[in-house]
A and B are shown apart, each in its own frame.
Chain A
Amino acid sequence: MREATSAGVADLIQEARAVYRDDLAATAALEGYATRLAEPLRVAVAGMVKAGKSTLLNAIIGEEIAPTDTGECTRIVTWYRYGHSPRITLYPVVGEPRTLPLKRVEGRLVFVLGTERAQDVERLVVEWPSESLRAVTLIDTPGIASLSEDVSARAVSFLTPGDSPSEADAIIYLMRHMHASDLRFLESFRDTEAGRSGTVNALAVLSRADEIGAGRIDSLLSAGDIAERYRRDHSLRKLALGVVPVAVLLAQSARSMRQSDFESLAVLAGMDRAAREKLLLSADRFLRAGVPEGLGAEARASLLSRFGLFGIRLGVVLIRAGFTDPTPLAHELARRSGLDPLLAMVDRQFHARADALKARTALVGVETLLRTSPPPEGAGHLAAALERLQVNAHEFRELRLLAALRTTGTSLNDDLAFEAERLIGGAGTAAHLRLGLEPEATPEAVTAAARECLRRWRLVSESPLTDRSGQDVCRVVMRSCEGVLAGFAALQLNH
């Protein structure tokens, strides 16, 4: 099914290229869509200024390459994609792209723009040999609600262009608390995207979660409570697939923990408790203090800037609790930072749907092209093919229904609507997630559960009290159940 959709979209683009063969701009755009189908999914990281976008990006990549700073830092849209050897390419607004020198300070890249001003640069593309980038291309964007307005404007116009599909297939949106600007942006992202294709493809991240509780050791617990409240919030629910709290700084540093970091933490863990608490009272105190002896001024500064007070406190507690080796400690820190749930969510919501999301972007592109510059001939045929794909592909129907369930709602009662959302993949597209089972459920259990769901939904759809829109929902849900069953049947045949 999935291959069929992708192939269908590829065919459609071929057809469109034939129709538009005389139009140079259109051909270029179509070629772009075709290559996009074959490339990894593009996920943009967006949010208000200083939400920790570049830091999260480093955490996902697992290497500290994106530059970060206390002041506002990212001013240019920067792409991070997989490449065999590191390379930075600058694409100016006008003129030919050129390669930038590869300069790194303490591991982080430094973009030497030379005479170019930030507003003359369309984007930077960083190719990096990192495993994490094989499956996904990450896009770092400048902050929204910045005091330098042109920087914000650049991010907004990149993510929500007026007349073409967004360059990003999906978006990870970082916020510190739900601010009115956050909602406004997410709304406009949904409006440009879903207005045309009807999907919700944003994940919200409560970033800097450690600071919510002022760096206390239980900060992430209360951040979790707040995320839960946002998850239920109606205005956010229809804009984002989920809300996850992440302590981005800790996540980044835990993924790239060095031996020296571990040694410093171990020295701190060896201190007397009262003295340590006094030391960790404030950042200034920690930097200034003379104790413990084994920790130099430079080591202190580096530890603090990489882990923050929360990270240090947590690291010390973990070492005292028995994580005495660097590797398990780094894993535990990464787990506690909330990065793992985020990665799992990205995996479930984005990677599992990568083909559908990419195909959808391409379809939106073709549709826009048809609307804005209709071809001299063959438009009707193309439009028909487009509509056939949009209506028939089950993935799109699932995405559309998911959006409908989250925004306008349906005529089904709340329990059924909730179950429908799960079955069409609202929590992730794996079979056990759809059916609400444990990951280790046996194929037999999964099949049985799927059959049961199918039977129940058939009853719902046949009930005379279910109206037309309800029946539409039932049909999509039943099709999803059948898809699960078919997948397992194929599996069993192969055995």
Chain B
Amino acid sequence: MAETPIPGGLAKTPDPAGPARPSTPPTAAQLATLVEQGIELVSAGDRADLRKRLDQTLRRLRDPSIRVIVVGEFKQGKSKLINALVNAPVCPVDDDIATSVPTLVRHGDPASASVLLPRADAEPGDEAALERQPVNISELATYVSERGNPGNARKLVAAEVFLPRKVLAGGLTVVDSPGVGGLGSSHTLTTLTALPTADAMLLVSDASQEYTEPEIRFLKQAMRITPSVVGVLSKTDLYPEWRRVADLDRGHLSLVSPDIPLFPVSSDLRLEAARLQDGELNTESGFPGLIGHLRNEIVGKAERIQRRSVSQDLLSVTDNLRLSLQSELAALEDPEGTPAMIAGLEAAKLEADDLRKRSARWQITLNDGIGDLIADMEYDLRDRLRRIQREAETAIDLGDPGPTWPQFSKWLEECAAAAISDTFVWTSERSQWLAAQVAEHFSEEEVALPVLRVSDTGDALDPVDDMPRLDDGKIHPMQKVLIGMRGSYGGVLMFGLLTGVFGMALINPLSVGAGLLLGRKAYREDKEARLKRRQAEAKALVRRQLDDVVFQVGKQLKDRLRLVQRSARDHFTEIAEEHHRSLSDSVAAAQKAATTYKLEKEMRIRDIKAELKRVDALHRIAESVAAEPAVAKTATAKATAKPAGSQAAPAVVAAG
């Protein structure tokens, strides 16, 4: 059975030209019909667990969202790129820094816009805690631009724009992000935290010069989270030498990763082309290439992944169904072999039962892994922050921290934010790796990995209080006089009394002179003491602040890792449950079959055969859905991997 797609698939390989495929891959609607068929089958068999899974699949199919995030340094033309892409002035464009809030542009009819606000009473990090506030689409600029909302003073989480555009139809969502590399790394952190939910990113850099070191550094960091990158060279209308720059950039990109494409575009030309309805100008703008790539590669790839996951879901459901049907059929047709078969099934069931237990090996791997990860993460965070603390203390020792305190605390915050973003990226990588490790315990087939979003935390630093103020070292003239008086008081009294012995008055030139001297000394000592105190105080503040950061961020990261643990456990337990349920159903069916009367037996055999036929048909379609694009995309490792994976599935049946 499993062999069927291979000859069909191979027959298509002689035509390597991707787009000219003999049969187009199924659309989302066709896939939905398939899944509906599956649901029908499952409902007949009274398997609520399998039905739940297919329902989820159907939901995903009905509301596709392929997020493409536009990133880059500030002033590279990111917002204008999006405007040109959708031919509408949705993102604010300005000569000075424009975007301060991420803006999502997606398909919707009629055109509308809304801003997302955090709800005041909500817990941080909770997704449901966002409030959606519809705004007038023409006033959006006052919410998301640096001019209308400087430094995001309104504390918006994001803005959403819905536009009836063909480009966006297939679920493409384009996200405009504030530029990185500006003052303060807080924008970089915002962009990095938005990346885990993105399917791809467009790295925008203008044609005035080749990539700079900060750009490539950001690219490398971002690629660890979102490996799918498209380079965009913007403003080609302005620079005659853009071809040189494009070549240089391609060289730099190939050093980072061998297959990042680069598209030179001009947003101005595209907008002008739209205004004049000039097709030639549109071609010149370079956008058709970019849109083609977005549609074929990014959306296409996302669709391929979706097709594969749909097919995987269907395959696993049909396998589960087939298992019980086939064992019942075998028991009916061959009553002598039934006890042996039941024994085999029982053994498999026991094995599957093991997977469900808390003591299962994968559970141990998961628990140990999370434990290690938490420990490592805490160490990593502490280590990074300790280095910052040391640097800060050296800086404090070098001078008076009082007058420069505001700048100093800003510097400290930026350093801490950068350190935390590194830890987030690292933790996210490690948890993905852990999930893959756990999945290895499920050897029977390609197990879907859970979706983990550890680094999805724009607000990690929110619970940390702002740096407290430090006394700036300026003192009031009155205080100075008092300090001096306090010092001189003793002097005047001492010398006054001493000279009193010689019959002089308590206040005499000698005692006043001594008082002045001692007063000055007291003042100077006091000044030094105050500086020392300020330095000590500043150090204590830094220590307390970083402690606070470790405490709060550590807690958040721990919570998130626990969430990872829980969702991974639920995910894999569900798989184990399904498997177990199928096996026990099979045992029950086989047992029932052994005791059925002959007449009923024949009817049942007919029923089962008919049912099996339907299940097999669905199974074959599901296989072809997954195999088709993989083979069509040239016979690479992917193409061979897929049939191998589906061959593994019948092996379970054979075991039963």
Binding site for B on A (CB under 8 A): 48-50, 70-72, 145-147, 149, 152, 176-181, 183, 208, 211-215, 219, 222-223, 225-226, 229, 234-235, 281-287, 301, 304-305, 308-309, 407-409, 411, 464-465, 467
Contact = CB atoms under 8 A, between A and B. Distances in A.
A344 B642 CA distance: 71
B266 interface: yes
B185 interface: yes
A155 to B, nearest CB: 13
A146 B403 CA distance: 34
A152 B75 CA distance: 23
B95 interface: yes
A287 B243 CA distance: 13
A147 B213 contact: yes
Nearest to A236: B183
A149 B214 CA distance: 11
Interface string B215-252: 01000000000000000000111111110110010001
B268 interface: yes
A72 B212 CA distance: 10
B269 A281 contact: yes
Tell me if B's interface is mostly helix, strand, loop or mixed.
Answer: loop
Nearest to B477: A467
Contacts of A70: 209, 241, 244-245
A79 B235 CA distance: 34
A71 B238 contact: no
Contact of B182 (A179, A212, A213, A464): A179
A355 to B, nearest CB: 29
Given A214-B235, A282-B284, A467-B477, A177 B213 contact: no
Interface in B502-544: none
B95 A213 contact: yes
A339 to B, nearest CB: 20
B475 to A, nearest CB: 8
Contacts of B474: 411
A234 B181 CA distance: 18
11 contacts: A50-B210, A70-B241, A146-B213, A149-B213, A177-B74, A177-B97, A281-B272, A283-B236, A283-B238, A407-B404, A411-B474
A178 B183 contact: yes
A350 B185 CA distance: 34
B183 to A, nearest CB: 6
B403 A72 contact: no
Interface in B63-105: 73-75, 95-97
A437 B185 CA distance: 43
B96 A283 contact: no
B96 A226 contact: yes
A178 to B, nearest CB: 7
B211 interface: yes
A176 B74 CA distance: 11
B272 A183 contact: no
Interface residues of B, number: 43
Contact of B238 (A214, A223, A305): A214
Contacts of B214: 145, 179-181
A208 B183 CA distance: 20
Interface string B280-323: 01001000000000000000000000000000000000000000
Interface in B526-579: none
Contacts of B252: 147
B247 to A, nearest CB: 9
Given A70-B209, A177-B75, 15 more contacts: A50-B208, A71-B244, A146-B213, A147-B211, A176-B208, A179-B181, A180-B183, A180-B184, A183-B183, A211-B208, A215-B238, A226-B95, A283-B237, A285-B284, A411-B474
B383 to A, nearest CB: 23
A219 B213 CA distance: 27
A235 B407 contact: yes
A178 B281 CA distance: 34
B183, B216, B266 interface centre (most CB from chain A within 10 Å):
B183
A208 B95 contact: no
Interface string B450-478: 00000000000000000000000010010
Contacts of B75: 176-177, 212
Contacts of A215: 238
A71 B242 CA distance: 10
A329 B500 CA distance: 90
B480 interface: yes
A238 to B, nearest CB: 9
Contacts of A225: 95-96
A197 B238 CA distance: 44
Contacts of A179: 73, 181-182, 214
Contacts of B182: 177-180
A213 B242 CA distance: 18
Interface string B595-608: 00000000000000
B213 A222 contact: no
B212 A208 contact: no
B185 A180 contact: yes
Given A147-B216, A287-B240, A72 B181 contact: no
B595 to A, nearest CB: 77
A411 B241 CA distance: 53
Contacts of B284: 282, 284-285
Give the residue among A284, A287, A309, A409 with the most B Cβ atoms within 10 A. Answer: A284
A183 to B, nearest CB: 7
Nearest to B267: A214
Nearest to B273: A281
The 9 closest A-B pairs by CB, nearest first: A282-B237, A50-B209, A222-B95, A283-B240, A70-B241, A408-B403, A70-B244, A145-B213, A304-B240
Contacts of A305: 240-241
Contact of A283 (B97, B181, B239): B239
Contacts of A229: 96
Given A177-B75, A284-B284, A409 B403 contact: yes
A287 B210 CA distance: 22
Contacts of A222: 95-96
Contacts of B407: 234-235
Contacts of B97: 177
Interface in B26-76: 73-75
B238 A211 contact: yes
B212 A282 contact: no
Nearest to A225: B96
A411 B480 CA distance: 14
